Homo-oligomer: A and B are copies of this chain.
Amino acid sequence: MAKKNILIIGAGGVAQVSAHKVAQWADEFGDLHIANRTKAKADAIIDSLREKGHKMPFTSHALDAMDPAAVEALIGKTDAKIVINVGTAFINMSVLEGCIRAGAAYIDTAIHEDPAKVCETPPWYANYEWKRRDDVAKAGITAILGAGFDPGVVNAYARLAEDEYFDKIDSVDIVDINAGSHGRWFATNFDPEINFREFTGTVYSWQGGEWRENKMFEVGREWDLPVVGKRTAYLSGHDEVHSLSARYKDADVRFWMGFGDHYINVFTVLQNLGLLSEHPVKTAEGQEVVPLKVVKAVLPDPASLAPDYTGKTCIGDLVKGSLDGKEGEVFVYNVADHKDAYSEVGSQGISYTAGVPPVAAAILIARGTWDIKKMVNVEDLPARPFLGLLGEMGLPTRVIDATGDHPL
């Protein structure tokens, strides 16, 4: 059978990583296409692939990914069988629609967002993606939602606990600690607009069989994790809570993100002044401006942080449950290094952890292992094939269980 062409949509830091991983695993695929609103950014990624000596066929394209017909046409033109959507969170539904029409597999790494809305009613997936389940099944395509690290790998970590540790799951606490340093006075690790939008709305968690609402930075907890040590993480809203809560209805599902005092201070000032608002304000001169877009404009481009980024990330799931009535817990995690990521693919660790997993998912689709012809979230699929492949691809899984701290 002919190898499948792959199309990456987006050309930011995560797309850079995904492209390099596709190139490293070129034997699994046919040609690589990269499409972006600004074609020059896709060209820059292709240049960086060539610098690393990769030789598979690369082609860049300009694409308005908000237009399903344009997506459909590009899939047709490139004969892509798998689409990895790592563009802005605003394009999911139009790219998915293009895949449905053109019959290509769809993979993304973050939930769809409407630019005009922040933090909609839970579960978030039910507002957009899950409404297309029937259409995806009818079209006979595979759609894997949220296949980055978090969401994505952490969903597989929960599924691993289900598959191999417990017959009843009581809680899934996902903890995301970035102990790295970018050396700037302040910067966000990915698109500031998306980054801040995560924290300005209600923090939803699934506890006691219902949605709980908190404010950002309202609930903090100190964690003591491998490599990064003691860190305070805060109950935060995140995509994976909105799918894991459907599979593990009787468990508490929470997401904790680590923040330093400096980040919290800057965030608090911007938030309290109204500068993180997505609603336009009018200047004294009558110009209509969205404050958040101005904040984004003055902050460092996240992609520019990579060369100087040092330190490590630790992201994992603490899963508590019981097996045959006996209670236990397991911590499933990965540690990634910013400098190593930059040396390997020219991006920092946050982009690395987000950009590798969708390529693993693409390989599993290409191989047929995950080509399930329907729409799923990552925890709906067996975890071992995904985690095993990720280990080979640079994101090894470790486990702390009753036997100690060991590789999966």
Contact = CB atoms under 8 A, between A and B. Distances in A.
A168 interface: no
A298 B291 contact: yes
Contact of A265 (B265, B270, B275, B284): B265
Given A265-B269, A269-B266, A269-B270, A275 B287 contact: no
B296 A294 contact: no
A285 interface: yes
A40 interface: no
A289 B287 CA distance: 8
B297 A281 contact: yes
A403 interface: no
A323 interface: no
A128 interface: no
Contacts of A297: 281-284, 289, 291
Interface in A231-286: 265-266, 269-270, 272-275, 277, 281-285
A284 B293 contact: yes
A294 B272 contact: no
Interface string A172-197: 00000000000001100000010000
Interface string A289-312: 111011111110000000000000
By CB atoms of chain B within 10 A, which of A193, A269, A285, A296 has the most? Answer: A269
Given A265-B265, A289-B294, A275 B272 contact: no
A213 B186 CA distance: 27
A299 B281 contact: no
A285 B293 contact: yes
Given A185-B273, A266-B273, A287-B293, 4 more contacts: A273-B295, A275-B294, A283-B297, A284-B297
Interface of A: 185-186, 193, 265-266, 269-270, 272-275, 277, 281-285, 287, 289-291, 293-299
